[in-house]
Structure 1
């Protein structure tokens, strides 16, 4: 089990130190709406990690500034998003997945629709598909793109050139659709009360 130590730093706020025996170097992670996270290899120690944090202070502050700016944009963009009926949204996404699977002859085991903070969807090796409920806010062509992307993962479990070739049989210009999704990244941070 990973040990977590939390400390406060002037100008940086709360920092979580994660003692992790699986890594070989100190890693700093910063994500919107989260504390700074520092992964520390076993045997390195918190004092060494704190010194590393101080050495990277300028880089961290620059990135904090960029992240805070992004967080403000996310909050502003979310003001324009309409509230949805969560049960209705789940039903729509489940039905659309079933329709597309039947249309393109894909088999899957189970579909789950829930909130996810980092991805629009995923597919396990057991052909279990997870979809982000906030897909419902996307244009229809992008909803279909994400669903078909995950359906293709039921047969090809990676992002190899073979995967993209297969996906392009069902979606016109999938790389362009993938880039278009980035414009809607703020929706991944939607809070429950907005839905």
Structure 2
């Protein structure tokens, strides 16, 4: 069995796993994590039991613009950071050795083994995460001044699904993918996490706090759900 309900299927063995875990992973497809020694012949029956959940989750992720094909995308010729209003033209230079990304005004020169797309994508993701911090940190500070809300630390991560999170200590973690979203959605997500520094939940009080700063939050929350359509496949 190489696919299920039109999704590429991967079975991964995790020695620390105590039970079977079925998940849909952007850029990968359907992934089944099993403990060491698990009988793989049982996987089809497990997938049939979870078929309705898999199909429902698949449709949600596809509607959000997530890629579940499991196929490597082509190398990008253009990178559009909407939150930064910056568009880079990307040039590739075939060279041996590790992949390097050099920024020159509105162009990026990527040197390395061009056929190794995974390594190039990884280098571009690292570059994006670096730029995300440069762009999002000042924007977060701006939102703090605008709202009077505060935080203790900022972390930039390369997560598969979550746009951001806030810890009980006030540490805000933001997904580097935010750089691809329109600024209006980025600002809303920053506000979303800043409000969690006051209400670490999604209670009525929390949403009332959000609404006090952004009355149009329901529309923005709905648009954020489909924010994956702005993220290029090489970053999913």
| TM-score greater than 0.5 by the shorter chain | yes
Aligned to 1:150: 193
Asked if 2 retains the 8 angstrom alpha-carbon contact of 1:108 and 1:128, the reply is yes
Determine if the alignment matches structure 1 residue 15 to structure 2 residue 11: yes
**Cα 1:57/1:90, change in 2 over 3 Å:** same
Structure 1: how far apart are the matches of 2:31 and 2:166?
Answer: 27
Aligned to 1:56: 47
Q: TM-score scaled to structure 1, two decimals?
A: 0.69
Asked if 1 retains the 8 angstrom alpha-carbon contact of 2:28 and 2:68, the reply is no
Q: Extract unaligned runs of 5+ from structure 2.
A: 81-86, 89-102, 104-127
Q: What is the CA-CA distance between 1:65 and the residue it aligns to?
A: 8.6
Structure 1: how far apart are the matches of 2:58 and 2:203?
Answer: 35
**Cα 1:154/1:55, change in 2 over 3 Å:** closer
Aligned to 2:145: 102
Tell me whether 121-130 or 83-92 shows the greater mean CA deviation.
83-92
Q: Extract unaligned runs of 5+ from structure 1.
A: 1-8
Determine if the alignment matches structure 1 residue 46 to structure 2 residue 38: yes
Structure number with higher strand proportion: 2
Aligned partner of residue 200 in structure 2, secondary structure? coil
**Cα 1:90/1:190, change in 2 over 3 Å:** farther
Spell out, residue by residue over 1:118-160, the C-alpha distance to the aligned partner (whole angstroms, 9 max, x if none).
1111111110111122212222221110000000011111111
How many residue pairs get aligned? The number is 177
User: Counterparts of 1:26-175 in structure 2 under 5 Å?
Assistant: 26-34=20-28, 36-39=30-33, 46-47=38-39, 50-54=41-45, 56=47, 59=51, 63=55, 71=67, 81-82=79-80, 83=87, 86=128, 87-175=130-218
**Cα 1:156/1:81, change in 2 over 3 Å:** same
Structure 2: how far apart are the matches of 1:169 and 1:161?
Answer: 12
Report the aligned-residue RMSD. Answer: 3.9
Structure 1: how far apart are the matches of 2:207 and 2:143?
Answer: 18
Q: What is the CA-CA distance between 1:113 and the residue it aligns to?
A: 2.3
